[in-house]
Amino acid sequence: MSKLTIGIIGIGRIGKLHAENLLRHPLATVKSISDVRAESLKEWASSAGINHVTNDYQELLIDSEIDAVFICSPTSTHTDIIKEAAKAGKHIFCEKPISLTYDHSLNALEAVEEAGVKLQVGFNRRFDHNFKKIYETVKSGTIGTPHIVKITSRDPEPPSEQYIQTSGGMFMDMSIHDFDMARYVTGSEVEEVYVQGASLIDPVFSEYGDTDTAVMTLKFSNGAIGVIDNSRKAVYGYDQRVEVFGSLGSAAVQNDVPTTIEISTSEGVYRDKPKHFFLERYQDSYVQEINAFIESILSDSPIACSGLDGLKAEQIAKAAKESYETGKPVKLESGIQVKR
């Protein structure tokens, strides 16, 4: 196989982003897209050079020319589509989370293993050049043994009430990126989670049993301790920072800003606020994650962010939710096994 033919299921904001990035890739062709709003997408698809638009994703799965599918549809549809795509012999890229139910995700991964296809989960932050450098620095031993990991992740504005209803809650929707990042940069598994949370931004979160502000402490199997703080509303922009402190030093990533200029006057010292939106902040990481997916299939090499990575992040999110509800630390089950 010298080029990958792809179908995309779900053409919302993230589906369109992936489509546009894939269309620019020299080793990929987007043959078909599927969405329940197919009719309204035909003009956009035509302008992008995508000729086949349908509201039935099964058409993509039975197409023998399609090698892989991108699943960008609502989370509630993921596991069914993963299992059907695996059975059809398609490689799979699935946006996070795999599902909101651990057993459903595990069953989907087992179907992927049985079919012998590849599955990558969309934790795009792993592919950000800054966070990748943190990972490489820790792995090289430059800062010694990790002792403390600090992750700050704060959105510029809260989501709509409609989104809150179906998101799976802060821990599964938002914090899950940070749980994956914690595993990624430390190279260690999370053994225990303790959460303090509150609704300080909008009482609507409490109405759905959710929180908009949280601090989480993590214990890792290598002895390190982690702290994650999340907020659904940072008025100054999209706040994304990571620090790993180790026995020989520390490595830290600060916020991306539009420019690095600093202006000093008698009135004060000023510099740009952080980039405002995740699509702006992580634009390149979305490109890099699809590059990695395509490369792993064409070269038959390991997936950079596997289904098991997705499952473990979900496991941490589930424990965080339990800790938030009970007010107690929650230990995670170890030794996840995906049956062949």
Using one digit for the tens of pLDDT, what is the confidence trace for 162-194? 999 989 999 999 999 999 999 999 999 999 999
Cα separation, 220 vs 179, in Å, equals: 11
Which H helix or E strand runs over 193? Answer: strand 190-198
Residues of the chain with CATH 3.30.360.10: 125-276+311-331
Cα–Cα distances in angstroms (integers) from residue 316 to residues 2, 117, 201, 334, in the given order: 38, 26, 24, 11
Cα separation, 103 vs 118, in Å, equals: 20
Nearest to 228 by CA among 175, 158, 282: 175
Residues of the chain with CATH 3.40.50.720: 4-117
Single pTM value for the model = 0.93
Does the domain formed by 4-117 have CATH 3.40.50.720?
yes
SS3 (DSSP) at 29:
strand
DSSP annotation of 245: E
* Phi, psi (rounded to 5 degrees) for 44: -60, -45
Cα separation, 22 vs 30, in Å, equals: 7
Q: What pLDDT tens digit does each residue of the chain (340 aa) get? A: 789 999 999 999 999 999 999 999 999 999 999 999 998 999 999 998 898 999 999 999 999 999 999 999 999 999 999 999 999 999 999 999 999 999 999 999 999 999 999 999 999 999 999 999 999 999 999 999 999 999 999 999 999 999 999 899 999 999 999 999 999 999 999 999 999 999 999 999 999 999 999 999 999 999 999 999 999 999 999 999 999 999 999 999 999 988 889 899 899 999 899 988 887 889 999 999 999 999 999 999 999 999 999 999 999 999 999 999 999 999 998 755 444 3
Please say whether the dihedral angle defined by the alpha carbons of residues 94, 188, 278 and 214, taken in this order, is positive or negative.
Answer: positive
DSSP annotation of 77: G
pLDDT digits (tens, 9 = 90+) for 186-222: 999 999 999 999 999 999 999 999 999 999 999 999 9
Cα separation, 333 vs 313, in Å, equals: 12
Beta bridge mates, 9: 34, 71
Residues in contact with 273: Cβ distance below 8 Å, sequence separation at least 6, in sequence order: 236, 237, 257
Report the DSSP pairing between strands 68-71 and 91-94.
parallel
What kind of fold does domain 125-276+311-331 have according to CATH?
Answer: Dihydrodipicolinate Reductase; domain 2 (3.30.360)
Contact between 314 and 172 (Cβ < 8 Å) = yes
